[in-house]
Amino acid sequence: MTPIDLSSQARGPELSDYVALIRRRVPLIAVVTLVITVLAMGYSLTRSPLYEGTAEVVVQPILADPFATGARVDQQVVMETEVLIVRSGLVAALAANDLGTTKDPTDLLKNLDVGFPRGTQVLQIVYSDENPTDAALAARAFAEAYLQFRTNKAQDLLNDQIGALTLRLTTLQTDLDAVLADFGRPGATEGERAAANARASTLSSQISTAANELAEKQGFEVRAGEVIDLGRIPKKPASPNHSRNLMAGLLVGALLGLALAFLVDGIDPRITRPSEVEQLTGTAVLTVVPPERRGGGTGPQRDAYRRLALVLRSATTTRDVLLVASATDLPERRETTVRLAEALARMGASVLVIDANIRKPGLHDLVGIGNIAGLVDVVTNRLAFEDCVFRAPDVDGLSILPAGKLGDGPPTLLEDHSIQPIIARSRSIYDVVIIDGPAVLDAADALSLQREVDGVLIVARERHTERPHLEELQVQFDTVNAKLIGSVLHAVKRPGRR
């Protein structure tokens, strides 16, 4: 019997595994979601309502003459800088003065939000306050204070340009008067007069140009921008938004619940999916037995054992001996032994089940026979093999060798006495021999038994068998070079299932 290669089935976690994890942790996720949602709504309901006043301003470049440059308006105005100007202490001071408030200007900035739609020259000014009228007035005050600040800056620039032009005109006129005086000087030669005349002509042209530019500057009206929307007094508070906070609480709670569910599942040492069994044991999970499998293994449970029997039958030869093992004592191991044997018998094989778990026998109860005599008696030569083998009452082709009563015998009976003759006799009579061994981590019997068998089938139980136990089982079997052929996972009934 060789290990069954189901590499196409051996896998890591899949979507179905995560769905199963979420279903297992639904109560935890629900509680976390509820708590976070309640906290979010409590926070929302205890907050004072805030109203938002709004104002919008179209920004123009600060130039004395907007036609003096060929650059586009959006290249002349850096909107990020304008946002910082609105939020500056100087503008806040102007706004506070306009509002006639005694609040510190920096306190006003705490309730101010300024932005702009990308690709536009429009500032959006939003002010929050518990009083809707105050919110609207403050937004308007900041808009007007910003325009006043920029207008003052533009006017200062214009005045500087006018002053520079006035000084230039004065200088040019002084130069022209000197040239004219030199032109009329007695004794001046014709060459000197010609040069003075050319110089006077140039100065006159420059004076005319400067005078025209000065006239234009003096006639230019400074416009730093324009308020295009002062907004209305808000009728409804902008925050708290109870609906939004409720949805946020639900979303954050669900996400935290999911994160906690995955964290708890990672900390929980119990296995929860077939892929974990495969990774820990290095064997393929040959079948997953659904819950509610007791009472004869009918329905889905019988189908699971039939699939297992078909897989094993395709991988075994006649006269094979199989050991069914588990890390710790599991009733599911005994049930797997009996139901697998029944499935093989129904397929026409002659099957013998041996209960080698002499410390905690139980196969006889599942088959429906007594435990008066059995393996213990054969090993100690008290009874013959044939006298201790009984036919299963309900399944043709199935026989059982119960454990028998250990009595005062030592727990290490199977270690002290070789079971090899019994297995050899069984192999010569039956097509398949299945041995239910004791828990691997509880006794060394299972390790000694594996030397006499053709393969070992591992049984685990979902949400019961622990990962460290499977790891230790794998280590112990590897130590004795056991032939692990596959594993069986028993699922458990989950809340809400019927």
Q: Which of 220, 248, 265 is where one domain is finished?
A: 265
Q: How many Å apart are CA 125 and CA 279, to the nearest integer? A: 60
Q: Does 9 map to a domain?
A: no
Same-domain status, 334 and 482 = yes
Spatial contact of 259 and 161, defined as CB atoms under 8 Å apart? no
Q: Does 235 map to a domain?
A: no
> Which tokens is 311 given?
């897989």
Q: Which amino acid is at 299?
A: G
CA of 218: how far to CAs of 67, 208, 246, in Å? 15, 15, 60
Q: Does 473 map to a domain?
A: yes
The stretches of 402-451 forming alpha helices (DSSP H) are 413-416, 420-429, 445-449
Same-domain status, 285 and 411 = yes
Q: How many Å apart are CA 478 and CA 281, to the nearest integer? A: 10
Same-domain status, 156 and 259 = no
| Predicted confidence pLDDT, tens digits, the chain (498 residues) | 555 555 434 455 667 777 877 887 889 999 999 999 999 999 888 888 999 999 999 998 765 454 455 545 545 788 999 999 999 999 999 999 999 988 899 999 999 999 999 989 999 999 999 999 999 999 999 999 999 998 888 888 888 888 998 999 999 889 888 888 776 677 667 777 788 788 888 988 999 998 988 888 887 777 778 888 877 888 888 888 888 899 999 999 999 999 998 888 778 888 888 888 998 998 999 999 988 645 444 588 889 999 999 998 887 666 789 999 999 999 999 999 999 999 999 999 999 999 988 888 889 998 889 888 899 889 888 899 999 999 999 899 999 999 988 766 555 666 656 788 899 999 999 999 999 988 998 877 778 888 888 899 999 999 899 999 999 999 999 988 889 999 999 987 654 444
- Coil, helix or strand at residue 317: coil
How many domains is the chain built from? 3
Instruction: Give the residue among 129, 309, 126 at the shortest CA–CA distance from 231.
Output: 126
- Coil, helix or strand at residue 116: coil
Q: Does 13 map to a domain?
A: no
Strand arrangement of the beta sheet that strand 351-355 belongs to: 285-289, 484-490, 455-461, 320-325, 432-436, 351-355, 398-401, 390-391
Same-domain status, 405 and 418 = yes
Same-domain status, 446 and 486 = yes
> What CATH number is associated with residue 136?
3.30.1890
Same-domain status, 332 and 470 = yes
Same-domain status, 193 and 218 = yes
Q: How many Å apart are CA 448 and CA 462, to the nearest integer? A: 27
Instruction: Please give the span between the terminal C-alpha atoms of the chain, in angstroms, as a whole number.
Output: 38
CA of 39: how far to CAs of 237, 261, 489, in Å? 21, 20, 41
Same-domain status, 152 and 300 = no
Q: Does 26 map to a domain?
A: yes
Same-domain status, 259 and 295 = no
Same-domain status, 190 and 282 = no
Q: Does 371 map to a domain?
A: yes
Q: Which of 229, 256, 285 is where one domain is finished?
A: 229
Instruction: Give the residue among 312, 271, 264 at the shortest CA–CA distance from 489.
Output: 271
Q: Does 288 map to a domain?
A: yes
Q: Does 498 map to a domain?
A: no
Residue 255: domain span: 19-47+240-265
Q: How many Å apart are CA 31 and CA 28, to the nearest integer? A: 5
Q: What's the residue count for the chain?
A: 498
Instruction: Give the residue among 290, 277, 312 at the shortest CA–CA distance from 431.
Output: 312
Same-domain status, 324 and 186 = no
The whole-model pTM stands at 0.58
Same-domain status, 188 and 246 = no
Within 8 A by CB and 6+ apart from 394, the residues are: 368
Instruction: Give the residue among 303, 285, 322, 297 at the shortest CA–CA distance from 465.
Output: 285
